Amino acid sequence: MSSTDRYARVILPLAVEGTYTYRVPDALIHRIEVGSRVLVSFGKKRMYTAIVEALSSSPPEGIIPKPISGVLDEEPMVNQHQLEFWDWMASYYMCSKGEVMRAAMPSGMRPESESRIRINPEFDQGVKLDPTERLLLEVVKDQGELTLRELEMVGVSKNPMTIMKRLVEIGAVEINEFVRQTVSRKIVKYIRISGEYASEKALNAVFGQLSRAQRQTALLERFLQLAESAPFQPETLVPKSELSSIRGGAGALATLIKKGILEEIEKEELGPREANQEEPSRQPHLLDEEQQKALDQIRLQFMDHQAVLLHGVTSSGKTEIYSHLIRDTLDKGQQVLYLLPEIALTTQIIDRMRKIFGKKVGVYHSRYSDSERVHVYRNLLGWTDEEPYQLVIGVRAAVFLPFSALGLIVVDEEHETTYKQHDPAPRYHARDSAQILALYQGARVLLGTATPSFETLYNARNGKFGYTSLRQRYGKVREPELILADTRTAFKRKQMVSHFSPQLLDGIKSTLDHGEQVILFQNRRGYSNYLLCEECGHVPKCPRCDVSLTFHMQSGKMECHYCGHKDPMPAACPSCHETNLRMKGFGTEKIEEEISLLFEGIRVDRLDLDTARTARGYERVIRDFEQGKTDLLIGTQMLSKGLDFENVGLVGILDADSMMNFPDFRSFERSFQLISQVSGRAGRREKQGRVVIQTGVPDHPVIRHVLKNDYEGLYLEQMEERELFGYPPFRRMIRISFKHRIPSILDAATELAGKELKTIFAGRVFGPQYPPVRKVQNFYIKQIILKIEREASYERARNLVREVLDEIGSNEVYRSIRISIDVDPY
C-alpha cells in the first residue's frame, strides 16, 4: 500500500445500512473532499452518485475497495453542517443515511445508471428461437436499444424479463449500464452590444451600414429601446427571448451576432418564473403597540432560548413580526429559512416577502420542477450567476438545503400535520428537525401559530421554549361571531336543504348581498364518499386497498384515495345486478354543484387536490379569490393554512363531526385547530366576520371549547388524559409497520415480533393489530406501537428494537416482509 493511498467513505442514495469505502484514484486525490459528489459502482454493474462522508489513508480490514469512477463537481456540494444533520436524522428517525440523502438532494443531483439492452452483433442468427423470443429480439433491433422499463411497456409478453434473461444467456443481446445525465442547469441567454460598438459614434456608423437591412435595423433599435430602459450602459443585458420573438428577429439577431455587433452570453439563473423580481417596494409595516411588545419579548427571549413560540390569534399580524425579525437577521449578514406547511400558502407569503426583500428571496418546494430546485440548491452554494438567496421560503424539504450562515428559522403554522413526512423514509417532522438544524448552525427558531400543537405548548410551559402571545387581532378587529347549527335537530324538523342548515343558507345569502365573499369548508374531496346498493348493501371497494371508492364527478370515475385506482361508474350493482344504487356522503364537488343550483349566477371555485395539483393551479385559485373573481370558495384543509383574504364575510364548516370522531389520540386537538384556523379566514379587516359550524353533536367537548375560544381548557383536559394513558408529550411513540401480501405470513411475523418486544419492553408494547385501513396496494398491514418513557434511554431502546427487527428480517420465511419504523408518528 502506497503512502499516498487515499480512501473515501461514502453515503449511497439507497436504503442500505452503513457506509461504503472506495479507493480514490491518484488523478482524483486533489479533487475530492468531504462533501464531494462522486460516481461509484455498486453491485455488479450499477453506478450511483454518492457523497463523501470521510477520507482516510487506510482501507477497512479484509476488503479491497473499488475505485471511484469520477467526481462530479469542482467543489463539495454538501457541507459539514448538512452531514451532521443527516447523521442525526438517520439516527433519530431510525433510517439509513442513504434514505436521508435521497430526501435531501433533488433527483437531478443524483444521476445513476440504468440498464440498456442492445443486440449482440456477434450473435449467431442461426440459433433457434421461439416466436416470442424472436419477436422481442426484433423489437430491440428496431429500436437500437431499450431500457428495462421500456421493455416492460412494449407488451410483447406478460413476462418480458424472463425472456430477456434467456436471450442474454444465449448471447443474443447484451445489457450495459449507462449513467443518466444530471438535470440541465437553468441557463438564460442574454444579448449585449460588443465593446467596440458601445458608443454613440460607433452606433451611428452601424446604422449607416445597415440602411438597407431593415430587419437588422429594427432589431438593433429594439435592443437599444430595451437597453435604454435599463438604463443603457455598454454592459446592459437584454434577454434574447425579447428580441427573438419579434417578426424576423431570430434571423436578424443571428446576423448581427455573426457581424460582431451584438454578443450572446449565458447566465445560470432561474429564468422567467422569477423575472418579475425587482427591488424591494416597501419596508416592513410599522407594528402596533401589542405587536411591538411581542417583537421585543421575542428578541429578549432569544438571548436565553434557542426556540420561541409566538402564540397569536388568527389575523393578529404574526407575519409582520416575522418580517421585522427577518430584516434583523439579514442585516447581520445571515440567512433565513421560512418554513410553511402547505404549497398553497407560499403564493401569498412569497408576494409579501418579495415586496420587502426583493431578489434576496428564493423559493423551494416540490411543485417546482426538478431543475428549478437544483437551481436553488446551487444558488445557495454560490454556483449560479445570481446573488445567493438570503431568505428561502419553502415546505418541509427546505431543511435539507446547504445553508452556510443560517441565523433564523421561522416555522409558520407550526401545528400543521403536513410538516410530518410519513412515506418514504426518512419519516421526519420538519418542525422538530428545524430545531436540530438550528443547533448545528447556531441559529434561532421562531414557532408561530394561533393554535400551538400540545407538544409545543407543553415545551413552552415547561421553560424549554420561550413564549410570547398576541391576544387580539391587528387593528383591534373583533373575533368572528361563531354560530352553531344543530344539524340533527334540523334534520328532524326537515329544515335542512341537502347538506345546508338554515343558518348557513341565510348567512351565505346575506354575505353575498353585501358584496362579500364566502368560504365553505368540507374536508373531503370528490362528489360522494361511497356508492351503496340499497338491495343487497354492496359498497364498491378498491381491489387493491381496504377502502370504498369515492365518486368524482370531474373524471366520472370511482377513485381510490390511497392508491389512485379508478373504475368506471357502475350502471348496476356488481353483486346483485340491481340498479338501485345510491350515493352516500358528500365531498367538495357535490357542494360546488349544489351551491351553484341554490345560488344561480354566483362564481364558485374549489381548492382541493383535484383543482390544484400544480403550483400554478394553487396560484390561480387563490389569486382569483383574492382579486374578487370568485364569490364563493369551497375547499379542504388547504383553506386553513394561514391564507389572508380581506373580503371574506362568512365561513361555513359543513361537517365538523367527521374530524372529531377520527380514531386518533390527537383528534380533539386537531379538530379544534382546524375549526379555529378555518374560522380565522373570516372578517380579517374592519368588519366582524361570521362562522357557521354545522354539527350533529352540539354538546361535544371540542365544540364547547371552540364556542368559548378556550384552547387552554382543552389543552389542560387533554394533558390529563395523555399523562394517564401514556401518550406524547409524556412518552415517546414508535410505530412499527409490517406489510405483506399474504395475511398468514404477516400474522406469524408480527406475533413473533410482538412477543420478542414484549419480553424486552413489557407493558410498553401495544399490538400487533390491524390499522383502520388494513390493506393498501395489495399489501396487508399490521402495526406495533411502543410507548417509551421520556427519561429512558432512547438510543438503548432504538438499538433493542433494531436487533429484534433484524432477527425477523434474517428469517427466510419473513424476509419478504416490508418493515418500516415511524418515530413520533403524529
pLDDT digits (tens, 9 = 90+) for 674-685: 888 888 777 656
H/E stretch holding 374 = helix 370-381
Task: Give Cβ neighbours of residue 126 (< 8 Å, ≥ 6 apart).
Answer: none
> Which three cell numbers, joined as nine digits, stand for 5?
493511498
How large is the average pLDDT for residues 507-515? 93
| Helix intervals (H) in 561-710 | 588-598, 615-626, 657-660, 667-679, 701-707
pLDDT at 583: 92
Residue 154's pLDDT band (cuts 50, 70, 90) = low
What is the distance of C-alpha 644 from the center of its chain? Answer: 21
Instruction: Give percent above pLDDT 70 in the chain.
Output: 91
Sign of the torsion formed by the C-alpha atoms of 250, 252, 254 and 257: negative
> Which three cell numbers, joined as nine digits, stand for 423?
412515506
333: phi > 0 → left, psi -120 to 50 → alpha, else beta; which? Answer: left
Closest listed residue to residue 430, CA positions, set 526, 497, 375, 366: 366
pLDDT at 76: 95
Residue 1 has pLDDT above 50, yes or no: no
23 forms beta bridges with 7, 67
- The model carries a pTM of 0.84
How large is the average pLDDT for residues 365-369? 76
50 forms beta bridges with 38
pLDDT at 773: 92
Residue type, 715: Y
Contact 466, 460 (CB under 8 A): yes
Residue 641 has pLDDT above 70, yes or no: no
Buried b vs exposed e over 373-390: b needs ≥16 C-beta within 10 Å?
A: bbbbbbbbbebbebebbb
Buried b vs exposed e over 312-350: b needs ≥16 C-beta within 10 Å?
A: bbbbbbbbbbbbbbbbbbbeeebbbbbbbbbbbbbbbbb
Model confidence over 75-87: pLDDT tens digits? 999 999 999 999 9
Among the residue ranges 87-91, 281-285, 704-708, 775-779, the one predicted with the least confidence is: 281-285
Highest mean pLDDT among 119-123, 146-150, 164-168, 803-807 belongs to: 803-807
Secondary structure of residue 403 in the 3-state scheme? coil
How large is the average pLDDT for residues 746-756? 96
Residue 117 has pLDDT above 90, yes or no: no
**Whole-Å CA distances, 337 to 354, 361, 432, 622:** 14, 10, 14, 24
Q: Is 772 exposed, middle or buried (0-12, 13-18, 19+ CB in 10 A)?
A: exposed
Looking at residue 435, the DSSP 8-state letter turns out to be H
Secondary structure of residue 424 in the 3-state scheme? coil
For residue 786, the tally of other CB atoms under 10 A from its CB is 22
Spatial distance between the Cα atoms of 101 and 426, rounded to a whole number of angstroms: 9
Alpha-carbon dihedral 812, 817, 821, 826, rounded to 10 degrees: -160
Model confidence over 397-439: pLDDT tens digits? 999 999 999 999 999 999 999 999 998 999 999 999 999 999 9
H/E stretch holding 309 = strand 307-312
Spatial distance between the Cα atoms of 67 and 774, rounded to a whole number of angstroms: 46
Residue 643 has pLDDT above 70, yes or no: no
Residue 522 has pLDDT above 60, yes or no: yes
Residue 233 has pLDDT above 70, yes or no: no
Q: The sheet that has 444-449: what strands, in order across it? A: 361-364, 391-394, 335-339, 406-412, 444-449, 307-312, 466-470
Contact 631, 673 (CB under 8 A): no
The answer to whether the peptide bond before residue 772 is cis (omega within 30 degrees of 0) is no
Among the residue ranges 132-141, 174-183, 732-741, the one predicted with the least confidence is: 174-183
How large is the average pLDDT for residues 716-723? 95
Residue 298's pLDDT band (cuts 50, 70, 90) = very high
Model confidence over 454-481: pLDDT tens digits? 999 999 999 999 999 998 877 677 788 8
How large is the average pLDDT for residues 738-750? 96
Spatial distance between the Cα atoms of 281 and 283, rounded to a whole number of angstroms: 7
Residue 276's pLDDT band (cuts 50, 70, 90) = very low
Spatial distance between the Cα atoms of 760 and 652, rounded to a whole number of angstroms: 50
Residue 489's pLDDT band (cuts 50, 70, 90) = very high
Residue 551's pLDDT band (cuts 50, 70, 90) = very high
Residues in the chain, total: 826
Task: Give Cβ neighbours of residue 48 (< 8 Å, ≥ 6 apart).
Answer: 12, 13, 14, 39, 40, 41, 42, 110, 112, 113
Contact 727, 787 (CB under 8 A): yes
Residue 275 has pLDDT above 50, yes or no: no
What is the distance of C-alpha 16 from the center of its chain? Answer: 24
35: phi > 0 → left, psi -120 to 50 → alpha, else beta; which? Answer: left
Spatial distance between the Cα atoms of 270 and 513, rounded to a whole number of angstroms: 45
Spatial distance between the Cα atoms of 168 and 120, rounded to a whole number of angstroms: 9
pLDDT, greater one: 359 or 391: 391
> Which three cell numbers, joined as nine digits, stand for 151?
421493455
Residue 165's pLDDT band (cuts 50, 70, 90) = confident
Closest listed residue to residue 82, CA positions, set 377, 445, 368: 377
Model confidence over 19-49: pLDDT tens digits? 899 999 988 999 999 999 999 988 777 788 9
Residue 542, CA atoms < 13 Å, CB-side half-sphere: 24
Model confidence over 52-99: pLDDT tens digits? 999 998 888 888 899 998 898 889 999 999 999 999 999 999 999 999
H/E stretch holding 489 = helix 487-492
Task: Give Cβ neighbours of residue 82 (< 8 Å, ≥ 6 apart).
Answer: 35, 104, 400, 402
pLDDT, greater one: 9 or 240: 9
Residue 272 has pLDDT above 50, yes or no: no
Spatial distance between the Cα atoms of 154 and 800, rounded to a whole number of angstroms: 47
For residue 423, the tally of other CB atoms under 10 A from its CB is 8
Among the residue ranges 273-282, 312-321, 444-453, 778-787, the one predicted with the least confidence is: 273-282
> Which three cell numbers, joined as nine digits, stand for 758?
414484549
The chain-wide mean pLDDT, for the chain, equals: 87
